[in-house]
Chain A
Amino acid sequence: MRPSPTTITAAPPGHDVTDLLPDHDAIAEWRGLRERLARADRDAAAAALAALAGGIRRTVISTIAGAGLGHAGGDLSVTDILATLYGAVLRVDPADPGWPDRDRLVLSKGHCSVALYTTLSTCGFFPAERLSTFAAPMSPLNGHPSRRSVPGVETSTGPLGHGLPVGVGIAVGLRLRGSAARTVVVLGDGELQEGSNWEAAMTAGHRGLTSLTAVIDRNGLQQGARTSATNELEPLADKWRAFGWEAVEVDGHDHLALLDALTAPHDAGRPRCVIARTVKGRGVSFMEDRVEWHHKVPDAEQARSALEELR
């Protein structure tokens, strides 16, 4: 069974997964937040987004510790980006995840599924209680996001360097269909070492995909080392500009800076790259900027002290 272009299907027959259905209470709460944010002044908006992100961070830690699996470092660096996108930017409908004119979010750094799952459940795409099944036998919440089983996941990711080409295709397709919906692709910085990104960047620049935004989670670390020690990326903004994009650099933990970068109108005919400077493991002192927390799992004591710090 193949997912049709606009509906998210459950897993194919033979897979004993229970469907993830919308959580209408959570949706109502999320809609309330969106309305408040639309009317809020900047201080109030910053406070609301910080609260949203804080809740996601805590759930990320408890989910990973409970499952014994996950990528805490990258989850915590990307959290403010996802919270800002889902809290204030993306036009999606958690009650109708296949709505044709929805904005699309592709999480190219698919190993950070827990941050995405938590954000999606916070918006009501599925009940938050289901997060506790993450990585458990037959759970729809696999270690990497699957389009087959998780509503709100636009494409299955995990192998790095896939998100941007898919995002370019979505943006071209939406434009052909006359839809005004936007496409946002969130990438890791280490991931940019995959050449497929630059092939896609060239196509996007050439085609003037104004509705496409790439957000780079620029935490400076990859799996085994610093990105600068592995394969230097700088001058990163210049690289995107050379491919026909506009590029802005922001503090990736500053919700208002992110909000501005993600909502300002694009230069005509240019996709935008937002280079969000982040800290891997952000918010938990013993994880911050430490390469081993790429995929180390906190033990009970570490989880407890992490949750304490995130309170």
Chain B
Amino acid sequence: MILRQTREETHEETYDCRDAFADELVRLARADSRVVAVCNDSVGSSKLGAFAAEFPDRLVNVGIAEQDMVGIGAGLANAGLVPFVCGAATFLTARALEQIKADVAYSLANVKLCGMSPGLAYGALGPTHHSTEDLSWLRAIADLPVVVPADPAQTRAAIRWAAETEGPVFLRIGRFPVPDVSPPGVPAFTYGRAVRLREGVDATVVATGTMVSRAMRAAALLEERGVQARVVNVSTISPLDREEIVAAARQTGAVVTAEEAVPTGGLGAAVAEVVLETRPVPMRLLGTRAFAPTGEPGFLLEHFGLTADGIARAVLEVLGLDHV
């Protein structure tokens, strides 16, 4: 296989989306005194240091107590505040799933759940710290928008949207370094809408979060093989932009999904459901399909084939071109 391009060869500037998150949250808090933050002994890892320095009274650090944290968030919302509840995505979602369902989503509480450092970001801290099931779990909960920004611009725009919009929302705030992918001239984030980043007629790569820039590089690699792949950035996993997915299936005839999570129930399953119900076409669902071995995030992405090369291979496979 000649498809081969590592991150080192791309020379792109990359960003930790938590920085955009932290900065935007402080701006929001300056403009709106209802904005408060809640965290679980995670001031540092949620990047709330600047917020805490400027608004010490508006940060509730409950300690290591995620169920408490989400319940308190729901209570703060009830009292008329706009809480951003921040914690490592895995502990926030797994530990407090029932609070998220009952206290936040079912109660329509105006809580902004911020899952930090999701996917494989914690690398060698191991599977207990990898938030790879969060998309599946949260997507199953009704009335809970699940938003996964792919770069700093989307992160800022998604947080502003969340603050302005009444109701629950989950934001997955990445730590793994990502380049800018948002095209200039279009709004960086529109709730419920996927963004077509590249046109193509042979297949579509539907990606989210960290996988979006990799999908773009995969498309470039495929072009060298004469394959025109469309790339779609899904930043709202739930509710999914059905129209864009149906168009992808109808117009390109093959779909590959890529996410830093288990595809079972996550983006892959979401896209597959729409494709199956509307326009069945061959698909490949890329993601983490096992507990990860030991290793750094970049190594683990390679391990699971979540690279430009891996995505390109999956496209060739789904087109039946892998042996050409």
| Residues in chain A within 8 A of chain B (CB atoms) | 11-12, 14-17, 67, 69, 110-111, 135-144, 146, 156-161, 190-191, 193-195, 222-225, 227, 230-231
Contact = CB atoms under 8 A, between A and B. Distances in A.
B41 A222 contact: yes
B170 to A, nearest CB: 19
Contact of B294 (A139, A161, A224, A227): A139
Interface string B82-97: 0000000011001100
B264 interface: no
A227 B64 CA distance: 10
A225 B61 CA distance: 10
Contact of A17 (B91, B95, B126, B293): B293
B208 interface: no
Contacts of B128: 110, 144, 156-159
A19 to B, nearest CB: 14
A69 B124 contact: yes
A203 B129 CA distance: 28
A233 B232 CA distance: 50
Contacts of B43: 224-225
B125 A190 contact: no
Interface of B: 41-45, 61-68, 90-91, 94-95, 122-129, 290, 293-296, 299
18 contacts: A16-B293, A17-B293, A135-B294, A139-B294, A142-B294, A143-B126, A157-B128, A158-B125, A158-B126, A159-B94, A159-B128, A190-B63, A194-B64, A195-B68, A222-B41, A223-B44, A225-B61, A231-B65
A interface, by DSSP: helix, strand, loop or mixed? loop
A107 to B, nearest CB: 13
B118 to A, nearest CB: 15
A174 to B, nearest CB: 25
A137 B67 CA distance: 33
A222 B64 contact: yes
A69 B64 CA distance: 21
Contact of B41 (A110, A195, A223): A223
Contact of B64 (A14, A110, A161): A161
A144 B129 contact: yes
Closest A-B pairs by Cβ, 9 of them: A158-B128, A231-B63, A193-B63, A143-B125, A135-B124, A142-B126, A137-B295, A230-B63, A193-B64
Contact of A222 (B63, B91, B290): B63
B65 A137 contact: no
Contacts of B124: 67, 69, 135-136, 142-143
A231 B43 CA distance: 14
Contact of A223 (B42, B290, B293, B299): B42
Contact of B61 (A110, A111, A156, A224): A224
Contacts of B126: 142-144, 146, 158
Contacts of B42: 223-224
A227 B63 contact: yes
A138 B41 contact: no
A49 to B, nearest CB: 30
Given A137-B293, A144-B125, 18 more contacts: A11-B293, A14-B290, A16-B293, A17-B294, A110-B128, A135-B124, A138-B294, A142-B124, A142-B126, A143-B123, A159-B128, A159-B129, A191-B64, A193-B65, A222-B41, A223-B41, A223-B42, A224-B42
